[in-house]
A and B are shown apart, each in its own frame.
Chain A
Amino acid sequence: MEQKEQTKTTAVKGTDMARKVRGLVKNIYRSAHEAKAQGKKVAYMMVSSQYDEIIRAMDVVPIPTENYAGLCAAKREMDRFLLKAEADGYSQVLCSYARIGLGFDSLRKELGGIPEGAPDGGMPTPDMMLGSSAVCDPRYKWFQAAGRYLDVPTYSIDVVWPPVDADLKAVRDHYIQYQKEQFQGLISFMEQQTGKKLNKERLWETIRLSDEAWRLWYEIDRMRVAIPSPMPAQDHFSVMVAGYYYPGMQEAVDFYQSLYDEVKYKVENKIGVIPDEKYRILYGGGLPPWHTLWIFNYFESFGAVFAIERQYRAYDPVEVPSSVKDPVEFLAWRSFLRATQFYEKARANSGNPTVERLLGMIDRYAIDGVVFHACRSCRATTIGQVHYKNILGRYTDIPMMQLVSDMVDLRDYSEAQWKAQIGAFIETLAGRSAR
């Protein structure tokens, strides 16, 4: 039978606020273009590098290159960038975010300007590139490689996390000290590039705004234990834009305050994402399939709602000791505490902090099944999923499934295969609920 290509990419959202995120995304690139026109400094950067507040405090406008790759996929505008990077010698198994970014930069250089029709006006040429080793290796290697197309100053930092079996008392000081020194190196570099000194009061302010936004976001997620689910995972993958791309900005605080009010209203009035919620699903990890987010609605058509998710929800709020009086040291402490917050629990139980986190979610959110998304080109968020499933299986008998594609490269996705897998998964859920 001839298969009709599915062209719909985005998901129908559950909340009004999630529908407003598109404006925030557009603003990221619009602001960067405006800043560039006004002579302000703009920087390619990697989100969740623990340095976001420093960038904002230095009044440098960030361009999150990974987000741009996700945006291209959601708009189904990724192929020409992927193919360009591959033509330039980058492997088809290399991080597809990096391939889109490199392909975009390559095309821009070749054409002498932003490729026509690039989503949201494209990314302006940065004044600097700020990489990091947080999360994965390509996040510093990518910008080094981008030097082929952009002869601009580039600086990367380490973001270090100890292994779960480390004696935290023995390693804490040198981890925090190193992290602090890495931030200081970044600050010196940015001061050199911008010609101005970091204002520490301003940095405290961006930290305060950032922490407040994340606190509100955390409270929103706590309300999502409600049945029926007031906000699904596909909304999370939209509303994360405020937390990850606007940290240190009042916009993020305002956004989450409004979302908090909306979710609270839905909980109090028992307004669910779908009218007849049968199954509550945990999105166990892996970057979302940005090319096919409607798949969440496909689950909903069977009464299955993604009640909570682990991806892009890296840490809960942490308490930095009040004795820390320097904002850079505060960031180093916060990074360490965020990274290690589930270690003690893991050592006492499953031995794995991610599994602890998932077990906590399965329990609190009354989860009926877990879905992982393995991305062929993302080792950082994919390796370990099978392992988590194996360990989770020792503690729970709920069904678990791993879907395989890629975060942005559609060539790794098969709609027919996914639908068959999802059908079998739903049947398993139904069989269990009938028991």
Chain B
Amino acid sequence: MKPASIQLDELYVQRDKHAKELRDSGKKVIGYFCCFVPDEIITAFDMVPYRIQGSQNKAIDQADAYIEPMACPFVRSCFNKALKGEYDFLDGFVAPHSCDTVERMYNIWCQNKPAPFNHLINVPHMMGPSSEKFYRQELDYFVKSLENWTGHNLDTGKLRDAVRLYNERRAVLRALYDLRKSDPPLVLGTEITTVLVAGMGIPAAKHIELVKQFIDEVKGRPLPQTQKLPRIFIWGNELDDIAFIKLVEECGAWVVMDDLCTGTRFFWEDVPETADPLDGIATRYLYTHCPRSNVPQTKTRAGDLENRYSYINDFIKEWVVNGAIFYIVRYCDTCELEGPDLREYLNGMGLPVLMIEDDYSTSTIGQLRTRVQAFLEMIG
């Protein structure tokens, strides 16, 4: 048996390999976007949830004939892969209404590369009791659509099991993140991204097993050199390639914590175990910390920022962060509007911030090296 780190590396490189094998063995694979489609529901139908990813190191060479180049390059990259047949193994395509681009992409995708099953879950941008109720109803409708398509009714017992399974995965991933708290951290940011991305296309049970083994491997390896380096928190949206984090670490820093769509944002909080598991799922997913969701305003500006970002404050303190880097994939309006607010909040805590806007392409990342180096020198 290969070490977990090698297996995870292989899964990171060949992200669809295992999903295709499962499909060949008779399993249905459901592709989905973002952090608002509950894996638990798909798993409860005995299907494999597959988080759709793009490719930062391949040019978007076909999608522009279908979608404007001023749309999110991550989404365009995903669709580019679909056009090339790289997602033909998907039995289903599920998009949440997470943002303008994904919502519009749904129709374009379905009309040009439809999967056998296609569905859009409307996710409220607002948060509150009526939004929770609506999102729950949207999940009911999603379940009904899956029931119609598969010919099987949802088994509530299986859904309950899936909730526990994914909570276990969340716990294991949080345990992995705990290894970043020491100075120096026991695990690199690049390794973390590899582990997370590798897990996006395999069943949770397998991912849990691999992450546990990986944690044991990490604990068993020699302690890293105790070189004093800045400890960095990364904030942004889709970073499903290690290139940028590698660049930061190569410039002389430890990437120790994140708030990314491909990081804590998708797994950090547990699903509460409720009598009807869909209630807990609805609550958990609706309140995902994402710039596309509108946290109701509190009375003062300072109170409002605290209300929106106190969870980041906790990250900063617990992981002893010295500086923050924002990596915003261009054309993400919600991140572009959120960034200056978060910077204000973090600066208020005395934390320096480097805000970067980029094209979701490894070909442009090299240009960022000087900026990152200058930032790291500044925070010493």
Which A residues lie at the B interface, using CB under 8 A? Answer: 88-91, 93-95, 98, 131, 133, 136-138, 140-142, 144-145, 147-148, 151, 153-158, 160, 162-166, 170-171, 174-175, 177-178, 181-182, 185, 351-352, 374, 376-377, 379-380, 382-387, 390-391
Which of these binds chain A: B12-20, B167-175, B208-216, B326-334? B326-334
Q: Which of A89, A93, A155, A380 contacts B100 (CB 8 A)?
A: A380
Inter-subunit contact B297/A155 (CB<8 Å): yes
> Are B120 and A163 in contact, CB atoms less than 8 angstroms apart?
yes
In the assembled complex, which residues on chain B have CB atoms less than 8 Å from the CB atom of A374? 68, 70
Could you jot down 28 A-B contacts, CB within 8 Å?
A88-B340, A93-B70, A93-B357, A94-B333, A136-B100, A138-B333, A138-B334, A140-B126, A141-B337, A144-B297, A145-B341, A147-B297, A148-B301, A151-B301, A153-B297, A153-B299, A160-B124, A162-B122, A163-B122, A165-B110, A165-B118, A165-B120, A174-B134, A178-B134, A178-B137, A352-B107, A387-B111, A391-B111
Given A94-B333, A158-B126: 16 more A-B contacts, CB < 8 Å: A93-B336, A93-B357, A95-B333, A133-B126, A136-B100, A137-B125, A141-B294, A145-B337, A156-B126, A157-B126, A178-B130, A352-B111, A379-B70, A383-B71, A384-B67, A387-B111
Given A141-B294, A148-B340: A185 in contact with B111 (beta carbons within 8 A): no
Which chain A residues lie closer than 8 Å to B341 at the CB level?
Answer: 144-145, 147-148
The complex places the Cα of A424 from the Cα of B73 at a distance, in Å, of 30
Cβ-defined partner of A141 (8 Å) among B66, B104, B291, B300: B291
Tell me whether B351 is interfacial, beta carbon within 8 Å. no
Q: Are B130 and A386 in touch, CB under 8 angstroms?
A: no
B106 at the interface (CB under 8 A from A): yes
> A136 contacts which chain B residues (CB < 8 A)?
100, 333
Chain B, Cβ-Cβ closest to A136: B100
Question: Is B99 located at the chain interface by the 8 A CB criterion?
Answer: yes
Question: Whole-angstrom distance between the alpha carbons of A9 and B110 in the complex?
Answer: 40
B residues contacting A by CB (< 8 A) are 64-68, 70-72, 99-101, 104-108, 110-111, 118, 120, 122, 124-126, 128, 130-131, 133-134, 137-138, 141, 144, 291-292, 294, 296-297, 299-301, 304, 328, 330-331, 333-334, 336-341, 343-344, 355, 357
Cα A144 to Cα B336 in complex, Å, equals: 12
Interface pair B131/A379, CB less than 8 Å apart: no
Are A379's CB and B101's CB within 8 A?
yes
Which of A88, A144, A382 is in CB contact (< 8 Å) with B294?
A144
* Contacting residues, chain B, for A170 (C-beta < 8 A): 141, 144
Q: How far does the Cβ of A146 sit from chain B's closest Cβ, in whole Å?
A: 10
Q: State in angstroms the CA–CA spacing of A59 and B107 once bound together.
A: 40
Q: Is the interface of B mostly helix, strand, loop or mixed?
A: helix
Given the interface pairs A145-B337, A158-B126, the reply to whether A379 lies near B331 with Cβ below 8 Å is yes
- Given the complex, which residues of A lie within 8 Å of B336, measured CB to CB? 90-91, 93-94
- Cβ-neighbour of A158 out of B104, B107, B125, B355 (below 8 A): B125
Residue contact A137 to B334, C-beta cutoff 8 Å: yes
A160 CA / B126 CA spacing, docked (Å): 11
Query: What's the nearest-Cβ distance from chain A to residue B332, in Å?
Result: 9
Chain B residues, Cβ within 8 Å of A178: 124, 130-131, 133-134, 137
In the complex, what residues of A have CB within 8 A of residue B106's CB? 163
B70 adjacent to A156 (CB under 8 Å): no
- Complex Cα gap A375–B222 (Å): 54
Question: With A137-B100, A141-B334 given, is the CB distance from A156 to B294 under 8 Å?
Answer: yes
Give every chain B residue within 8 A of A93 (Cβ-Cβ). 70, 330-331, 336, 357
Q: How far is the CB of A432 from chain B (nearest CB, A)?
A: 23
Query: Of A98, A171, A177, A181, which is within 8 A of B337 by CB?
Result: A98
Q: Which residue of B lies closest to A159 (CB)?
A: B125
- Interface-central residue, B64, B101, B328, by most chain A CB under 10 Å: B101
By a CB distance below 8 angstroms, the chain A residues around B304 are 147
Q: Is the pair B100, A158 in contact by a Cβ cutoff of 8 Å?
A: no
The answer to whether A160 and B122 touch across the interface, beta carbons within 8 angstroms, is yes
Residues of chain B with a CB closer than 8 A to A386's CB? 64-68
Q: Please give, as numbers and ranges, the residues of chain B lying within 8 Å of A181 by CB-CB distance.
A: 130, 133
A158: shortest Cβ distance to chain B, in Å?
5
> Of A91, A94, A147, A151, which is in contact with the most chain B CB atoms at under 10 Å from its CB?
A91
Asked, given contacts A165-B118, A174-B134, A387-B67, whether A137 binds B111 with beta carbons under 8 Å apart, the answer is no
Distance in angstroms from A144 CB to nearest chain B CB is 6
A174 to B133 alpha-carbon distance, docked (Å)? 9
Please give, as numbers and ranges, the residues of chain A lying within 8 Å of B99 by CB-CB distance. 137
CB distance from B325 to the nearest CB of A (A): 14
Shortest Cβ distance from residue B100 to the other chain A in the assembled complex, whole angstroms: 5
Bound together, the chains give a CA A155 to CA B294 distance in angstroms of 10
* Given known A154-B297, A156-B126, contact A90–B340 (CB-CB < 8 A): yes
Most buried by A among B130, B141, B297, B337: B337
- Chain A contacts of B297 at CB under 8 A? 144, 147, 153-155
Are B330 and A89 closer than 8 Å at their CB atoms? Answer: no
Residue of A nearest to B70 (CB): A376
Pairwise interchain contact B291-A379, C-beta atoms closer than 8 A: no
Q: By the criterion CB–CB under 8 Å, are A148 and B300 in contact? A: no
Docked complex Cα distance between A177 and B100 (Å): 23
- A385, B68: Cβ atoms under 8 Å? yes
State A380–B100 Cα separation when bound (angstroms): 6
- Give the chain B neighbours of A91 by CB distance below 8 A: 328, 330, 336, 357
Contact A182-B126, Cβ < 8 Å, known A137-B334, A142-B337: yes
Q: Which one of A138, A140, A144, A352 has the highest number of Cβ atoms from chain B below 10 Å of its Cβ?
A: A144
Q: How far is the CA of A363 from the CA of B340 in the complex (A)?
A: 47
